Amino acid sequence: MLNLVPFVSVDRMMKLVHHIGIDRVLTDLATAIEADFLRWGQFDKTPRIASHSDVGVIELMPTSDGETYGFKYVNGHPSNMKRGLQTVTAFGLLADVETGYPVLLSEMTILTALRTAATSAMAAKWLAPRGATTMALIGNGAQAEFQALAFKAVCGITEVRLYDIDPAATLKCARNLEGRGLTITACRTAEEAILGAQIITTVTADKTNATILTDNMVGSGVHINGVGGDCPGKTELHRDILMRSSIFVEYPPQTRVEGEIQQLAPDHPVTELWQVIAGQTQGRTDNTQVTLFDSVGFAIEDFSALNYIRSKLAETGLYEDLDMIADPDDPRDLFGMLLRAA
């Protein structure tokens, strides 16, 4: 009996998203991630295992709920764009804890973009001003359209104001979002982009301590979705913004090293997002509060996304089987299996 492992290639992933519909996939992923956050205590949790270099980072992101184990391989190389390469690429795997056998291998470059956007929108559902309709989207690269569509699908955003230091990126983003039910405004500066926005999303790629938002740019009552700061030495927000914000994070031991809060003291108070979802603490408490979701991405979100894709395989048939696991007639005779293949 062959132990075949379902594999979702880039081509099959794209077809799966189109088969289900991108808005539906984003809302389904937000629901799946929220459900797993509600059972936060069941998961093994560890900061991602990172190998840093002068040009980027390569990471492993593992977790398990005791029944299924999952991990993602992901890189972040901002200079890749100059070579015509993706800044972020990824693949992921699920395995059965009881046997250790893999049960899914999948591309995760596209899936990571989807799950990141879904997590952002899921967090904003709990933290953003009630009735928010306008989002500023600063940084219009590979992640931008996913963020815009997730906030539309999950939070009801109707207007997106775009800004990027590269006008070509803004034009690309605006073109891709045409006909998607959003009013799109291309802006010449970050200051212009945030005018009238109740939600500000920053999703830039440079691996530096940048100041995308200064303190005087951020008024009271807004929600900030900080996505781009996701490794040591990479931030987007001025420290003074953090000092007057209510800060919500995924997993503090990871975020304090990688997120915006690496700029703060190690004991600066933050709230874990799962506690808000579980009703253990409050999210937004008044109309003047500045809330910040310091998003760095956590393994449980990848676990949720991979399990969602796995649940859609029988329905869509959009996978192929890989012969990845040696299957000798006698489990003790692996060498005999090799000899018989000659």
- Pairing mode, if any, of strands 68-76 and 57-64? antiparallel
Distance, in Å, from the CA atom of 95 to the CA atom of 89, rounded to the nearest integer, reads 21
Angle between helices 109-127 and 299-311 (to 10 degrees): 110
> How many whole angstroms separate alpha carbon 34 and alpha carbon 39?
9
Residue type, 231: C
Backbone angles phi, psi at 92, to 5 degrees: -140, 165
Of the listed 28, 36, 164, 230, which one is catalytic?
230
CB atoms near residue 341 (< 10 Å):
6
Select from 244, 261, 243 the least CA-distant residue to 252: 261
Query: Strand runs (DSSP E) across the chain, as ranges?
Result: 3-8, 49-52, 57-64, 68-76, 90-96, 102-107, 134-138, 159-163, 183-186, 199-202, 209-213, 223-226, 235-237, 246-249, 271-272, 291-294, 320-325
- Say if CB 151 and CB 157 are below 8 A apart: yes
Q: Which residues of 195-229 are buried (b: 16+ CB within 10 A; e: fewer)?
A: eebbbbbbbbbebeebebbeeebbeebbbbbbbbb
Contact present, 43 and 97 (Cβ < 8 Å): no
Alpha-carbon gap, residue 342 to 328, rounded angstroms:
14
Distance in angstroms (rounded) separating the CA atoms of residues 156 and 154: 6
Q: How far is the C-alpha of 220 from the C-alpha of 172, rounded, in Å?
A: 31
- Catalytic-residue membership of 230: yes
Catalytic residues: 230
